[in-house]
Amino acid sequence: MEIRWLEDFMVLARARHFSRAAELQHVNQPTFSRRIKLLEEAMGATLVNRQTLPLSLTPAGEMFLELCQRTTRDVRDVRGQIASMEAEVSARISVGSTQGLFSHFYQSWARAAGVADRLQLNLKATSWIGEQFLDALDSGECDLVLCYWHQDLPWGGRLSRGEYESITLANESLVPVSVVAENGEPRFSLPGAAGQTVPLIAYHSRGFLQSAIEAHLSRCEQSVNLLPLNENTQSASIKALVKQGFGMGWLPSRMTEKSEQFGSLTRAGDERWDVPLEIRLIRLREPRSEDLLTLWKTLDNHHA
């Protein structure tokens, strides 16, 4: 049974004539009559008294008419609600965020800034790496990018070419961590003993964080001897492997707070090995909508 058949029946109840009702529904009379017959078969009752002129509804038809009116009214109301929901979603501004920032920063920041209801997270972004976030801005796949930033990004000069604008939302640091050995010390620690490499769970070389770590270590007075075991795009993957004791790794400080509190992870080195970062929100200099520009002004004032 289709909704349009219910609409057919209501039109027939008003017109009291098959030909006129078919004309109002923009179909030929045989097609219209067949639909009414299918309704009667579905309900298992005669709904239309065809022996009268103009035709009339049977008692079953009168009851069925009330059902048609209620059902079509409910469908119309729900359609309106869905249309409003879709309009609200389409009006939201799309944000591409790294998975780590989405899990440990995005939601609390958006609520504190009063913009949570105006933003829509692009879930595809969790698979993007590094420069792909700026590519997504260029292509219109997202309106804003929430990411880590530091001065040593190999493609960081792209941000300074005048095509983008950014707001620094917060400062962050990458902290070296390790599981705890039986003696209460970190199982793996920096800078490592002479001639002995420290196993490292590293970040992907094209991501935001590995280049920051490497650049920071190159500026340290004391050298380290690291043995990268693998590369990961997500901080959560680094944390999981570190917690299983495969090696040490650097994690954003927001991800280490709970672990350090419960003792499952500990520092693998003092503060000199901490890597400073910024958390930035980036957009194209030429926004695609006035809503985005209005939101940006709100955020700029909030973080001024």
- Which has the closest alpha carbon to 62: 76, 44, 49, 51? 49
**What's the topology of domain 3-89?**
Arc Repressor Mutant, subunit A (1.10.10)
Backbone angle region of 16, left / alpha / beta, with phi > 0 → left and psi within -120 to 50 → alpha: left
Give me the residues of the chain with pLDDT under 50, please.
Answer: 89-90, 262
DSSP string of 248-263, one letter each residue: BEEEEHHHHHHHHHHT
Give Cα 213 to chain centroid, integer Å.
Answer: 28
- CATH class, domain 93-298, is alpha beta
User: What pLDDT shows up at residue 261?
Assistant: 54
pLDDT tens-place string over residues 32-50: 999 999 989 988 999 999 8
pLDDT tens-place string over residues 228-244: 999 998 999 999 999 99
- Which has the closest alpha carbon to 177: 208, 213, 219? 213
Q: What is the rounded CA–CA span in Å between residue 127 and residue 234? A: 9
User: What pLDDT shows up at residue 259?
Assistant: 58
> Rounded to the nearest 5°, which phi and psi values hold at 138?
-60, -40
Domain with CATH 3.40.190.290 in the chain: 93-298
Omega before residue 186 within 30° of 0, cis? no
Q: Residues 6 or more apart from 99 whose CB is under 8 A from it? A: 126, 234, 235, 236
Q: Residues 6 or more apart from 280 whose CB is under 8 A from it? A: 146, 147, 148, 149, 166, 167, 168, 169
Q: What is the rounded CA–CA span in Å between residue 256 and residue 258? A: 6
User: What pLDDT shows up at residue 89?
Assistant: 47
User: What pLDDT shows up at residue 28?
Assistant: 94
User: What pLDDT shows up at residue 160?
Assistant: 74
Name the pTM for this structure: 0.68
User: What pLDDT shows up at residue 260?
Assistant: 56
Token digits for 261? 């509190």
Domain with CATH 1.10.10.10 in the chain: 3-89
What angle (nearest 5°) sits at the alpha carbon of residue 90, between those of residues 87 and 95? 150
